[in-house]
């Protein structure tokens, strides 16, 4: 299949798969439901598949694009004019809170969306979670497998570190599945759109989010092992039992609350040592 779409040759290193299916595009824009006065921010506008219809509905949109040629193209767009605020930068290093503070309505949270470059989607999710308090919702096109991981619960094969951390920060709602043919060039995998709504208050109490992340990473790094073994560096078997957890269980069976319980125990131990 041709890698050229609308006169631009897709760059693999930037994860460029351009949407061209009008029906899918309309469904995504309807799911976002952009309104005037909102702080809308698109990651990776590319050739404008989502940018153009969103700009038709609202007066202002901020976009973040890493590809200099595509940013230039958007800058020279014949219709968007002043509506578009183009940030030519790597979204992975963008300070989303500062972007919000510099928008005309800094008191309003960001509404972030995008057909994300799949090669950086997981680190980008974790980067965005750091700004969850500045964001009211996110709509992302991702590999379907990643959406499954975001939404998975304990006991599912897709359940892992990304599920636990995403659900700590956000309510996760899969919106629609998108076949490879909706993109040019077509990716090898199915895609899906997900809606993420940051929680006003986290669903579980966690003393240190860093510790929660570390415990999850350690437990799922060796997901076939029992937590007695995978977590032995940070918590003893007896302590797991005292917390009401089965040391013979595997990470994939633990709930977000279970991970929070372990993380809080680990935080308290560390505090006790440092006293």
For residues 40 and 111, the answer to whether their CB atoms sit within 8 Å is yes
3-state secondary structure of 13: helix
Q: Output the six-digit token pair for 115.
A: 């057909």
Provide the 3-class DSSP secondary structure of residue 7.
Answer: coil
Q: How many residues lie near ligand SAM (CB under 6 A)?
A: 24
Closer residue to ligand SAM in complex, CB, 50/212: 50
- Check binding of 87 to ligand SAM (CB under 6 A): no
* Residue 103-142 contact track with ligand SAM, rule CB under 6 A, x = bound: ------------x-x--x----------------------
d(CA 171, CA 222): 26
Helix (H), strand (E) counts: the chain: 11, 11
Closest residue to bound ligand SAM by CB: 44
| Residues between 9 and 48 that touch ligand SAM (CB under 6 A) | 14-19, 43-47
The minimum distance between CB 164 and ligand SAM, in angstroms, equals 25
> In the complex with ligand SAM, which residue's Cβ is closer, 65 or 252?
65
- With binding defined as CB under 6 A, does residue 70 bind ligand SAM? yes
Q: Does 258 help bind ligand SAM (rule: CB under 6 A)?
A: no
Smallest gap from Cβ 30 to ligand SAM, in A, equals 15
Strand 110-115 relative to strand 4-5, pairing: unpaired
Q: Which stretch binds ligand SAM (CB under 6 A): 78-86, 88-96, 163-171, 232-240?
A: 88-96
The Cα–Cα gap between 157 and 165 comes to 16
Residue 233 phi/psi, 5° resolution? -70, -25
> Do the Cβ atoms of 174 and 163 come closer than 8 Å?
no
In the complex, the smallest distance separating the C-beta of residue 44 from ligand SAM, rounded to whole angstroms, is 2
Cross-strand pairs, 192: 142, 177
Contact positions toward ligand SAM, by CB under 6 A? 14-19, 43-47, 49-50, 64-67, 70, 90-92, 115, 117, 120
């Amino acid at each position: 299949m041709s890698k050229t779409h609308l006169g631009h040759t897709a760059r693999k290193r930037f994860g460029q798969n351009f949407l061209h299916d009008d029906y899918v595009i309309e469904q995504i824009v309807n799911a976002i439901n952009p309104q005037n006065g909102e702080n809308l921010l698109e990651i990776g506008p590319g050739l404008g598949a989502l940018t153009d219809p969103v700009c038709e509905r609202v007066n202002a949109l901020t976009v973040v694009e890493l590809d200099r040629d595509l940013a230039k193209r958007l800058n020279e767009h014949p219709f968007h004019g002043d509506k578009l605020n183009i940030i030519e930068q790597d979204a992975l290093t963008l300070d989303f809170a500062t972007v919000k503070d510099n928008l005309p309505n800094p008191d309003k949270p960001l509404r972030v969306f995008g057909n994300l470059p799949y090669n950086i989607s997981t680190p980008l999710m974790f980067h965005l979670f750091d700004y969850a308090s500045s964001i009211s919702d996110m709509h992302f096109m991702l590999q379907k497998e990643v959406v499954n991981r975001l939404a998975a619960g304990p006991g599912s094969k897709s359940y892992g570190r990304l599920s636990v951390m995403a659900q700590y920060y956000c309510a996760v709602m899969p919106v629609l599945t998108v076949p490879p043919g909706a993109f040019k060039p077509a990716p090898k995998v199915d895609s899906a759109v997900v809606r993420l709504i940051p929680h006003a208050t986290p669903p579980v109490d966690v003393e240190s989010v860093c510790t929660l992340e570390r415990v999850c990473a350690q437990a799922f790094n060796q997901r076939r092992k029992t937590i007695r073994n995978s977590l032995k560096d940070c918590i003893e078997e007896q302590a797991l039992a005292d917390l009401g957890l089965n040391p013979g269980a595997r990470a994939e069976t633990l709930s977000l609350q279970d991970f929070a319980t372990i993380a809080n125990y680990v935080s308290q131990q560390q505090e006790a040592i440092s006293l």
